[in-house]
Amino acid sequence: MFTNFFYLLRQVGIPVSPTSFLRLQKALGIGLITSIDDFYTAARAILVKSERYFDLYDQAFAHHFEGAELKEPEEFELSEVARAMLDEWLKDPKGLADALGMDEESLNKLSPDELLQYFLDRLKEQTGEHHGGGKWIGTGGTSPVGHSGYHPGGMRVGGISRSKSAVKVAMDRRYRDYSQEGPLTQAQIGEALKRLRNLVPAGPKDVINIDETIYQTMKNAGEIEIVFERSLKDRLKVILAIDNGGWSMEPYIELVQTLFNYSRAQFKELRTFFFHNTIYDNLWEDPPRFRKPFKVDDLARLDPETRFIIVGDASMAPYELMATDGSIHIEERTMKPSYERLRFIAETFPKSAWFNPKMADEWPYTRTINVIQEIFPMFELTIDGLENAVSYLMQKN
C-alpha cells in the first residue's frame, strides 16, 4: 500500500528507507491508522527522520493526496487550494497576471478577495489539470522565508487558513522554516564547527584513569595498580580570513559575524584576518584593515597543519584577481597578482577551504568564483556546506 507515495518521497529527496516503509505497513496492519489524518502523522513519524524534511514531506503529501481527496472539490476546499496556489503565485505577480490573462496594472487594483474570486472563476472554467498541483513539487528554490510573498496591492495572502484535514495541514507548510533552505543560525554553525575539533592524546602520561585503576586493582585482587594516561588536547590550529569589505559582502555580514563569533568560542588557537575582495601582499589583523598588516609571506612560517578557512563571496572584477597590481585600494601596491597569492596560501596550507555565502547555483555566473574554485575547494555557507567542508578539512591526508 502507498508504494507510489513512498517513491514520491524518495523522488523529492527525502531519505526514506525501505525498512521504515515496512514498519509503516506494520502500523497499518495493526489497525492503528484509520483516517488520512492518522496516516499523515504516522507516516511522518515513521518515515521522515529530520524536521528539515518536514516541509518537503508536507508538499509531497499534499500533492499525492490532494488528487485523492479533491476529485469533486467543493467550494470551500477549492478556495483552500486556490488560496495556497495564489500564495505561491503571488511571489511572481507577472506570472500570475499572465496566467490569469490580465495585465499587472489591473491586477494591482483588485483586492485579494476579488482576486481570489476571479481566480476561482477561472479555475472552474478550466478543467482539472490546473489544480493538478504540479506547482507543489519541485525544489526549484522559491523564497525560503515566511508566507508573505510579494503582492502588487501590498496585501498579505495565505498562511491564515486554519483547517482540519491532513492535506490542508500539509498545505500550510508549517515546517517551512525548518527546511534546509532556512537561514543559518549561530547554534547550527557551532554544531557544524564542533566537528573541527581534533582531540588527540598529547603530552606525558600524567592523568590517572580512575575507573581503569580501580578495575585493574580489583583484577589484581587488591594490589594497587595505578593506570596513567595522556590527557586529551585540541591541537588543531585554525586561521580564519574574512572578507569584510565592500558592498558585495554587505548582505552577508551578519552571517559571517555569526560564524566568526562562534568559531572564537570553539578553538584553542584561532587567528582571524581580514581582507577586501581578495588577498594581495597583506592580510589585516584589525577589521578596518589599516593598523595591523600581516605579510602573506610570513604565513609560510606557521604550522602547515593549520586549517586555513577563507570566508568571502569571491565576487570581484576579474582584473582584481588576475592582474599584477590589481588591488582597488590605491595604497595597496604589489607586483604579484592576487591569483598567485591565493595559490601560495593553498600550497602552504594543504587543508584549506573557501566558504562562500552565495548559493552554489549562482557560482557558475561569476568568473572570479570559477578561478578561485580552481585554487580552493569552495563550500556553501549553509549547514550542508559547512558539514562537507568540515569533513573535508578533517580528512586524514
Partner 1 sequence: MSQNNPSTAFAGASKYVLDEELAKIVNISMAVEMPLLLKGEPGTGKTMLAHAIAESLNMRLIVLNVKSSMKLVETLYQYDTLTRLNDSRFGDSSRDVSNIEDYIKMGKIGQSFVSDERVVLLIDEIDKADTDFQDDMLDVLDQMEFDIIEIDKTISAKYRPVIVITSNAKKDLSDPFLGRCNFHHIAFPEPDMMRTIVRVHFPDISKDLLDHTVKAFYRMREFRGIEKKPATRELINWIRALNADSDFRAKDLVKADIPYLGVLFKKSPDYIIAQNSVSRMRL
Among 208, 214, 226, 232, indicate the residue that binds partner 1 (CB under 8 A).
214
Residue range at the interface with partner 1 (CB under 8 A); choices 2-10, 43-51, 79-87, 351-359: 43-51
Question: Are 260 and 303 in contact, with CB atoms under 8 Å apart?
Answer: no
Query: x/- binding map, residues 51-90, to partner 1, per CB under 8 A?
Result: xx-x------------------------------------
Give strand pairing partners of 234. 199
Compute the distance between CA of residue 314 and CA of residue 377 in angstroms, rounded to an integer: 12
Q: Is 186 a binder of partner 1 (CB under 8 A)? A: yes
Residue 5 one-letter amino acid: F
Q: Is 34 a binder of partner 1 (CB under 8 A)? A: no
- 159: nearest Cα among 170, 145, 139, 173: 173
Q: Is 30 a binder of partner 1 (CB under 8 A)? A: yes
Helix (H) or strand (E) segment spanning residue 231: strand 228-234
Q: Is 175 a binder of partner 1 (CB under 8 A)? A: yes
Q: Is 290 a binder of partner 1 (CB under 8 A)? A: no
- Tell me the torsion sign for CA atoms 120, 124, 126, 128: positive
Least Å from the CB of residue 214 to partner 1: 6
Residue 249 one-letter amino acid: M
Question: Are 387 and 393 in contact, with CB atoms under 8 Å apart?
Answer: no
Least Å from the CB of residue 387 to partner 1: 7
Among 17, 139, 324, 391, indicate the residue that binds partner 1 (CB under 8 A).
17
Among 46, 120, 137, 227, indicate the residue that binds partner 1 (CB under 8 A).
46
Question: Are 135 and 85 in contact, with CB atoms under 8 Å apart?
Answer: yes
Among 9, 12, 48, 157, indicate the residue that binds partner 1 (CB under 8 A).
48
- 180: nearest Cα among 23, 55, 306, 317: 55
Compute the distance between CA of residue 40 and CA of residue 376 in angstroms, rounded to an integer: 45
What does the block give as the cell for 259? 560564524
Beta strands in 137-218 (DSSP E): 199-208
Q: Is 367 a binder of partner 1 (CB under 8 A)? A: no
Q: Which is nearer to partner 1, 21 or 339 (CB)?
A: 21
Residue range at the interface with partner 1 (CB under 8 A); choices 137-145, 173-181, 272-280, 309-317: 173-181
How many residues lie near partner 1 (CB under 8 A)? 37
Compute the distance between CA of residue 146 and CA of residue 165 in angstroms, rounded to an integer: 22
Q: What does the binding site for partner 1 look like in residue numbers (CB under 8 A)?
A: 15, 17, 19-20, 23, 26-27, 30, 32-33, 38, 41-42, 45-46, 48-52, 54, 174-175, 178, 185-188, 191-192, 214-215, 217-218, 222, 383, 387
